């Protein structure tokens, strides 16, 4: 939506289609709770924000992208302010901020603990003002139109009637989020199945740093609902079963406000050492926010309290919150530059589905919402310029492509099937949980990759039993499964290739960072039906790789 608003501002003559497989305000951004990072206070600066981001990334972030990002973030806060976004306020009326992990100064702007929800609604309402922004809700994209190396639209299923529809376009922006549902234990919505990443890869676009998966340290053991980092940002403590604030052993200066990769590994270490509690849903440590007081919890962390009351029947005003790490975010994605250009002409990407790369090996909390806005804006501007000079593709190509897509979808309804979507998806998620978790090694990764390839072959044998054309969830679930299996293969392939520990990517067989050579990105391209690995240098400006201590 931010990209669409940038396009319509840059060139009011262009027609924009927003295509979403769900109603837009059900998109995963509404689940972002804690806040959005921007240096808007006098004591802070874009340089400090950039340094914290590069340092937190374990020096895998491209520093030109980070500097661009931190310079533009305050502008996006002001833009949302003008749209009427309901920011939380200080007593003097100024926008309030809180501190997140790895920050040298408080810079997370927030709206209680429903920040993503309020941002989404502010942008959604703004898009309604423009007649040349059209929405196509509940359309499921199945393929890209790529002719002569140039992207010229998409093919999608209109889920309301089951028909395939061609969207001919002069440019396409992928802003489809992450792929967290390749894991069983994830904070992500069920819709986060990596569609845009897989579609782009299949069409010939390069992927970057797919091994870099973030695990959030604080989720509920039953179902992995997110307990926002804001709970620690506002002063919460992490306690092991002995009541000890164990983070003093792992990050003595920042304690609970160390970066997420360090906190997640610390919890895993406490579990391994026998210092964690155990319950029906596995091992956990406790998050204590009782000392913040009822007033603070009700005003600043209402969603945290609501989740605890609803799903655990406990009140965090009086009780400890059991928490455990779970998959949370993809730092990797479709490889792009600062303006959203992918390696495929006419295809652009932004947000979690893209890798620009500002997060490197570890995303700093509250940088993700700012990334969506900053790079949504820059990608929209670039796309508008490109589309103004591009031409539509050949009609014969479109007709041929649509016929092939119809045949592909129709074939999924024929014959019987030895497997179901549920069986293969469950096996995939268990494989990723067990073989590509917080701590990895080569043996686990190779075994996991072999299993994923077997599951890909089985997925090709699945056939659809439900022949209804209206909202056929069995069909879309199968297509999502195939997307997820591509992402799972890319994640494991990249993780095997990166033989070092850096940020969220921790390997017990290579437990240290490789400083014998400059840091490199892992690049994946499709080549003759297989994943080809390449390397690309990280762009380093003023901050040279150094020991990362908190």
Active site members: 216, 232
CB atoms closer than 10 angstroms to residue 386: 17
Tokens of residue 471, six digits? 């909202």
Tokens of residue 384, six digits? 């508008």
**In the block, which residue shows the tokens 């003023």?**
542
Sign of CA dihedral 439, 444, 445, 449: negative
The DSSP H or E segment spanning 477 is: helix 473-497
Cβ atoms of 520 and 43 closer than 8 Å = no
Could you give the CA distance from residue 469 to residue 426 in angstroms, rounded to a whole number? 25
Burial of 274 (0-12, 13-18, 19+ CB in 10 A): exposed
- DSSP string for residues in 36-100: EE---STT--HHHHHHHHHHHTTT-S-HHHHHHHHHHHHHHHHHHHHHT----B-TTSSBPEE--
CB-hemisphere CA count at 13 Å for 489?
A: 25
Closest among 195, 128, 138 to 163, alpha carbons compared = 138
The pair phi, psi for residue 80, each rounded to 5°, is: -65, -35
CB atoms closer than 10 angstroms to residue 539: 15
Could you give the CA distance from residue 393 to residue 390 in angstroms, rounded to a whole number? 9
Could you give the CA distance from residue 370 to residue 540 in angstroms, rounded to a whole number? 22
Q: Which residues pair with 526 in a beta bridge?
A: 531
Report the DSSP pairing between strands 321-330 and 213-219.
antiparallel
Could you give the CA distance from residue 9 to residue 3 in angstroms, rounded to a whole number? 10
Q: Is residue 221 classed as helix, strand or coil in its secondary structure?
A: coil
Could you give the CA distance from residue 204 to residue 198 in angstroms, rounded to a whole number? 10
Please provide the size of the chain in residues: 550
Q: Is residue 377 classed as helix, strand or coil in its secondary structure?
A: helix
Closest among 362, 337, 332 to 347, alpha carbons compared = 337
Query: What residues have CB less than 8 Å from 404, skipping those under 6 apart?
Result: none
Closest among 430, 408, 385, 403 to 479, alpha carbons compared = 408
CB-hemisphere CA count at 13 Å for 320?
A: 14
Q: Which residues pair with 14 in a beta bridge?
A: none
Cβ atoms of 501 and 265 closer than 8 Å = no
Closest among 195, 164, 173 to 182, alpha carbons compared = 195
Could you give the CA distance from residue 255 to residue 146 in angstroms, rounded to a whole number? 50
């Amino acid at each position: 939506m931010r990209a669409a608003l940038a396009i319509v501002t840059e060139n009011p003559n262009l027609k924009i289609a927003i295509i979403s497989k769900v109603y837009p305000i059900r998109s995963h951004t509404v689940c972002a709770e804690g806040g959005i990072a921007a240096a808007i206070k006098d004591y802070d600066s874009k340089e400090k924000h950039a340094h914290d981001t590069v340092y937190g990334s374990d020096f895998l972030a491209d520093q030109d992208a980070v500097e661009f990002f931190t310079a533009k973030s305050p502008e996006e806060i002001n833009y949302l302010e003008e749209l009427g976004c309901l920011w939380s306020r200080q007593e003097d009326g100024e926008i309030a901020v809180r501190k997140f992990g790895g920050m040298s100064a408080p810079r997370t702007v927030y709206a209680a603990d429903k920040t993503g929800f309020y941002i989404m609604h502010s942008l959604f309402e703004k898009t309604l003002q423009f007649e040349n922004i059209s929405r196509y809700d509940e359309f499921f994209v199945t393929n890209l139109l790529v002719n002569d190396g140039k992207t010229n639209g998409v093919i999608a299923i209109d889920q309301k009637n089951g028909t395939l529809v061609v969207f001919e376009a002069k440019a396409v922006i992928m802003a489809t989020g992450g792929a967290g549902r390749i894991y069983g234990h994830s904070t992500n919505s069920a819709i986060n199945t990596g569609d845009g990443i897989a579609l782009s890869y299949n069409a010939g676009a390069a992927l970057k740093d797919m091994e870099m998966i973030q695990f959030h340290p604080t989720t509920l053991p039953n179902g992995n609902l997110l307990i926002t980092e804001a709970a620690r940002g506002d002063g919460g403590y992490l306690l092991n079963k002995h009541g000890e604030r164990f983070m003093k052993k792992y990050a003595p200066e920042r304690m609970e406000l160390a970066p997420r990769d360090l906190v997640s590994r610390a919890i895993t270490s406490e579990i391994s050492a026998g210092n964690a509690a155990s319950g029906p849903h596995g091992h956990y440590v406790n998050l204590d926010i009782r000392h913040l007081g009822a007033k603070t919890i009700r005003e600043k962390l209402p969603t945290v309290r609501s989740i605890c009351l609803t799903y655990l029947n406990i009140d965090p005003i009086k009780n400890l919150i059991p928490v455990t790490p779970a998959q949370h975010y993809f730092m990797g994605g479709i490889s792009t530059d600062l303006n959203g250009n992918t390696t495929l002409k006419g295809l652009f990407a932004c947000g979690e589905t893209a890798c620009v790369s500002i997060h490197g090996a570890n995303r700093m909390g509250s940088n993700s919402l700012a990334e969506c806005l900053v790079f949504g804006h820059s990608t929209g501007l670039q796309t508008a310029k490109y589309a103004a000079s591009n031409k539509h593709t050949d009609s014969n190509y479109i007709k041929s492509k649509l016929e092939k897509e119809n045949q592909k979808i129709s074939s999924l309804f024929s014959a019987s099937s030895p497997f179901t979507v549920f069986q293969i998806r469950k096996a995939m998620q268990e494989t990723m949980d067990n073989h590509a978790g917080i701590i990895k090694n080569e043996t686990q990764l190779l075994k996991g990759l072999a299993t994923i390839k077997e599951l890909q072959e089985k997925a090709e044998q699945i056939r659809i039993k439900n022949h209804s054309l209206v909202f056929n969830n069995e069909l879309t679930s199968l297509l999502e499964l195939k997307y997820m299996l591509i992402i799972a293969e890319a994640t494991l392939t990249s993780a095997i290739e990166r033989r070092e520990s850096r940020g969220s990517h921790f390997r017990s067989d290579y437990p240290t960072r490789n400083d014998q050579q400059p840091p490199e990105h892992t690049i994946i391209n499709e080549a003759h039906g297989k994943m080809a690995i390449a390397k690309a240098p990280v762009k380093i400006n003023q901050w040279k790789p150094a020991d990362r201590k908190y």
